[in-house]
Structure 1
């Protein structure tokens, strides 16, 4: 009987050791999965950071008058920072004939459609220099 108790006790210890080994193995798999997920998240975060920095550099280049590498507004730049306001459009077309007004407004719309930040618009005898949606200069002449 004593021999049977020793074998039962040994079996119990072996079962306990197997349960502990199984639990440790599961914990290891969970830790490996967590490590892999953390590495993937880190790589994604780095990629997003690089993309954000590239976008930021484009925006800075767009607004830098010395840098002409970006001449069209990047999609991240709000249109209000480079499009002409309605008040400015009214001022530009003031005093012109209806045909000239239509021509000036079409030239503005075309330039803004191309996301230009610097352009010239003109009608016979008059021209305007536009930059960032603002009237920068102009002149009259024959």
Structure 2
């Protein structure tokens, strides 16, 4: 089993889309990441209609990593809905891209799985090649 299959299986176990209330929807996008030390952390999307609270699966997994280990560097990350990524649908949103870069500038080298079957990846740096925060580092 390669690392992508392991990440996929860890995330897939969390997939359970449902309404928490008429205003909150959860577990419809899942994510797993491999931290710098090889540990795997997972998370799922949790969103509310109030507009103030929306936590993507990638940020949830990253928050869990930091909360449990104080690590900030991510080697690899996968995110998906009901099936493995098979193109651009597995890309982190802009807020997630920005958060990963702000957490640790070395996350520019994080591999993001684009296509599960071919194991095609892209780096965060390729998604944000001219990140504004480089000037502050």
Relative contact order (alpha carbons < 8 A, sep ≥ 6): 1 or 2 greater? 2
| Greater strand fraction, Structure 1 or Structure 2 | 2
TM over 0.5: no
Q: Shorter-chain TM-score category?
A: under 0.3
Larger radius of gyration: 1
| Greater helix fraction, Structure 1 or Structure 2 | 1
Per the normalisation by structure 1, the TM-score is 0.24
Per the normalisation by structure 2, the TM-score is 0.25
